[in-house]
Structure 1
Amino acid sequence: MRTGCATVPLPVTAPTPMGGYAGRVGTSTGTRDPLGITALTWFDGRRRFALVLADLICVNADVVAAARAATGDVDALWLAASHTHSGPETGCVPGGTATPPPWSHRIPAAVAGAVAAAVRTETDTVGRWRTGLLADVGSVRSAAPGLAQVPLDLVEVVDGAGRRAGLLVVLPVHPTVLPAANLLVSADLVGAVRAALAQRLGPDTWLAVATGAAGDISTRHTRRGHGGSELERLGTAVAEHCLAELARPAVPAWGAGDRLDWRAGPARLAPKPSSAADHRAMVEAATRAVATARAGGDPAALRIAEGDLTGARLASTAEVPEHEIDAEVAAARIGALSLAALPGEPFLALAGEIRRNRPGPTAVLGYANGYPGYLPTEGAYAQPRYEVLAAAAAPGSGERLAGIAADLLTDLDGAHQ
Structure 2
Amino acid sequence: MVGLRGAIILAWLAGAASGAEGLRVGFGRADITPGVGEGSKPVYLAGFGQGREATGVHDPLWSRAVVLEDGEHRIALVSVDLIGLQHEVTLAARERLEGFSYVLVASTHNHEGPDVIGLWGPGPTTSGVDPEYVKRVGDGIVASVREAEASLSPAIAEYGTAEDASLLADSRTPVVKDGVLRVLRFSPPGGGEPIGLLVQWNCHPENLGSHNTLVTADFPYATVAALEARHGCPVAYFSGAIGGLMSAAEDVLKTPDGASYREGEFAFAEAYGEAVADLADEAIGGAGPIALTPFAVSTVDVALPLENTLYRVARAAGVLDRLGYRWTGDPFSPGKALGRRNIFGPLAVLTEVAYLRLGALHVAGIPGELYPELVSGEVEDPADPNADFPDAAVEPSVLGLLPEGQGLILGLANDEVGYIIPRRQWDRVAPFAYGRDRAQYGEINSVGPQAAPILMEALGRAIQGVPDGRGPDSCSGSDREGADRTTPARIDPGEARPPCP
TM range (shorter): 0.7 to 0.9
Q: Say which of 336, 344, 364 aligns to 1:340.
A: 364
Tell me what 1:373 maps to: 418
Tell me what 1:326 maps to: 350
Q: Say which of 287, 290, 296 aligns to 1:252.
A: 290
Separation in 1, partners of 2:277, 2:363? 22
Find the structure with the greater CA-based Rg.
2
Contact 1:53 1:210 in 2 (8 A): yes
Separation in 1, partners of 2:147, 2:423? 42
Separation in 1, partners of 2:171, 2:281? 26
Tell me what 1:62 maps to: 88
String of CA shifts for 1:188-229, please: whole Å, max 9, x gaps. Answer: 02212111212322x2x2101101121114335436212111
Separation in 1, partners of 2:82, 2:62? 9
Q: Say which of 92, 101, 109 aligns to 2:139.
A: 109
Aligned residue type for 1:385: Q
Aligned residue type for 1:155: L
Q: Say which of 181, 197, 202 aligns to 2:211.
A: 181
Separation in 1, partners of 2:443, 2:208? 23
Q: Say which of 196, 202, 221 aligns to 2:226.
A: 196
Tell me what 1:386 maps to: 441
- CA 121–27 in structure 1, closer or farther in 2 if over 3 Å, else same: same
Q: Say which of 139, 143, 150 aligns to 1:120.
A: 150
2:281 matched to 1:243?
A: yes
Let me know the Cα RMSD of the aligned residues. 2.5
Separation in 2, partners of 1:29, 1:178? 14
Structure 1 unaligned regions, length at least 5: 276-318
Contact 1:91 1:99 in 2 (8 A): yes
Q: TM-score, normalised by structure 1?
A: 0.81
Aligned residue type for 2:419: Y
1:2-401 residue pairs with structure 2 within 5 A?
Answer: 2-15=24-37, 16-91=42-117, 100-143=130-173, 150-163=179-192, 164-201=194-231, 203=232, 205-219=233-247, 221-222=249-250, 224-225=261-262, 226-250=264-288, 252-254=290-292, 258-272=293-307, 322-352=346-376, 353-356=397-400, 358-382=403-427, 383=433, 384-393=439-448, 395-401=449-455
Higher share of residues assigned helix: 1
Separation in 1, partners of 2:51, 2:240? 28
Separation in 2, partners of 1:369, 1:249? 28
- CA 252–320 in structure 1, closer or farther in 2 if over 3 Å, else same: farther
- SS of 2:242's partner is coil
Separation in 1, partners of 2:248, 2:186? 32
- CA 197–114 in structure 1, closer or farther in 2 if over 3 Å, else same: same
Separation in 2, partners of 1:4, 1:24? 39
Contact 1:139 1:150 in 2 (8 A): no
Contact 1:137 1:149 in 2 (8 A): no
Separation in 2, partners of 1:166, 1:22? 33
Aligned residue type for 2:239: T
Separation in 2, partners of 1:267, 1:404? 7
Separation in 1, partners of 2:128, 2:135? 12
Q: TM-score, normalised by structure 2?
A: 0.68
- SS of 2:416's partner is coil
Aligned residue type for 1:172: N
CA shift, 1:72, in A, is: 2.9
Contact 1:136 1:149 in 2 (8 A): no
Contact 2:178 2:372 in 1 (8 A): no
Tell me what 1:407 maps to: 461
Separation in 2, partners of 1:19, 1:30? 11
- SS of 1:132's partner is strand
Aligned residue type for 2:30: V
CA shift, 1:120, in A, is: 0.7
Aligned residue type for 2:44: M
Aligned length: 365
Separation in 1, partners of 2:45, 2:291? 36
- SS of 2:167's partner is coil
- SS of 1:80's partner is strand
- CA 364–160 in structure 1, closer or farther in 2 if over 3 Å, else same: same
CA shift, 1:23, in A, is: 2.1
CA shift, 1:390, in A, is: 2.4
CA shift, 1:349, in A, is: 2.1
- SS of 2:426's partner is helix
- CA 26–371 in structure 1, closer or farther in 2 if over 3 Å, else same: closer
Separation in 2, partners of 1:24, 1:273? 19
Query: Is the deviation greater in 127-136 or in 116-125?
Result: 127-136
- CA 114–149 in structure 1, closer or farther in 2 if over 3 Å, else same: closer
